[in-house]
Amino acid sequence: MAILKVLVVDDEPGIRSGVARILNNFRVTYPFMDEDYTFEVIEAATGEEGISIIEKTHPDIILLDNKLPGIQGVDVLDYIRNNNLDIVVAMITSYASLDVAVKATHSGATDFIPKPFTPQELKSSMEHITKQLYLKRITHRLNEEGKKVRYQFLSVLSHELKAPLNAIEGYLVMMKEKQLGDKIDDYAVPIERALRRIQGMRTLIMDLLDFTKIKLQRREDRLQPVDLAEIASDSIATVRPYAIQKEVEIKLDKKSDATVLADPGDMAIIFNNLISNAVKYNVEGGKVEIILDSTDDEVIAVFADTGIGIRPEDKDNLFTEFVRIKREEIKDATGSGLGLSIVKKVTDLYKGTISVESEIGKGSIFTVRLPKNKSGFNDAKHEITGKNS
């Protein structure tokens, strides 16, 4: 429960005490709010007194009479606006002339309470005001958090993009200055390393594209029945050349029908990332097994590998953007640090889950569970037309 401070600025003592009495036992509650709101009423008889209380106690809501003995209500509104105060103001006025209303609204008043008012009228106005205040603050907070997250993301991203450029530049300088000799063969290692960094950068850019894609507004008309066995086969075909090179065997085992209502592109993101990881972090001669299964309401995809495994202390950060685990065995792997965070975001979007079990040196098992029912899909409100589901 939270308490909102309400300042009543009115020269009529009867109005002030009336408001205090009505709001004393009043509580505002909406299903979308985290908590209920109650009110603490502070009284001021003039605009000047009101401003000095505003300075001292920072009220959340002000019920403001326009016609006051000294400065007028609109002057108080100007004061609030000029000082950028986070306060919701409702005007209480006996002659609700259009003039005053327009002027007050321009100055930032959000509501009007005509005088005289019944307890019920005051209460319904307070409900409205509280809702506005709540939404305004939530929006503000979300914007701030969004800004912070975006800033962090961009600063890490710029580091990740600059690092390969610095490395490649360094190798080119070596060549320009002929640091290793006059023959092109003297530069086999720098050339190989530079190519690897370029490959890493390309992976990062491709992952970034995936990343921006899943952040965009979903379009429900892209949802369609998707057979995950087909998606898995496509992904395996993509990874196969790399797997052959590493002598890793990939097997697909479809235990039951694994069809979900989804955007095929999203499903491909999940399978491509998890299968290529299972190969990349595997040992030579290792195995990758993909098992598709389903229950009444969900589809389960298991990705089991015989790779190097994940240390318990690394598990917590596995799905965080740009967290790349440092291990001697994988120092040459060209990961972007985005793959698993993207997979997590996509499964979240479908109200699914991803979990991991792992034993160091033995392998890892990633399990993705996706609801079959489209009602599980975030923000999908409408029927899909022209498709059987």
Partner 1 sequence: MNKGDYTVLVADDDPDYLFQTVKALEKAGYRVDGVESQAEAEAYIATHKPDIAIFDLMMENDDSGFILCYKLKKRYPDVPVIIATGVARETGFIFSLDTRNEKEWIKADSYLEKGLRPEQLDNEIMKLLNL
Q: Which one, of 7, 92, 86, 11, lies nearest residue 41 by Cα?
A: 7
Tell the smallest beta-carbon distance from residue 167 to partner 1 (Å). 4
CA–CA gap between residue 65 and residue 76 (Å, rounded): 10
Looking at the Cβ atoms of 171 and 377, the one nearer to partner 1 is 171
Looking at the Cβ atoms of 30 and 151, the one nearer to partner 1 is 151
Tell the smallest beta-carbon distance from residue 321 to partner 1 (Å). 17
Tell the smallest beta-carbon distance from residue 179 to partner 1 (Å). 5
Looking at the Cβ atoms of 59 and 190, the one nearer to partner 1 is 190
Tell the smallest beta-carbon distance from residue 7 to partner 1 (Å). 43
Looking at the Cβ atoms of 326 and 381, the one nearer to partner 1 is 326
> Do strands 61-65 and 2-9 pair parallel, antiparallel, or not at all (unpaired)?
parallel
Interacting residue ranges for partner 1, rule: CB under 8 A: 155, 158-159, 162-163, 166-167, 170-171, 173-174, 177, 179-180, 189-190, 193, 197, 326, 331
> Do strands 249-254 and 109-114 pair parallel, antiparallel, or not at all (unpaired)?
unpaired
Looking at the Cβ atoms of 58 and 162, the one nearer to partner 1 is 162
The answer to whether 55 touches 105, Cβ cutoff 8 Å, is no
The answer to whether 357 touches 364, Cβ cutoff 8 Å, is yes
Looking at the Cβ atoms of 107 and 336, the one nearer to partner 1 is 336
Tell the smallest beta-carbon distance from residue 150 to partner 1 (Å). 17
For 94-152, give the DSSP string: SS--HHHHHHHHHTTEEEEEESS--HHHHHHHHHHHHHHHHHHHHHHHHHHHHHHHHHH
Q: Which one, of 305, 299, 249, 245, lies nearest residue 277 by Cα?
A: 305
Amino acid letter at 161?
L
CA–CA gap between residue 265 and residue 210 (Å, rounded): 9
CA–CA gap between residue 341 and residue 320 (Å, rounded): 5
Tell the smallest beta-carbon distance from residue 155 to partner 1 (Å). 7
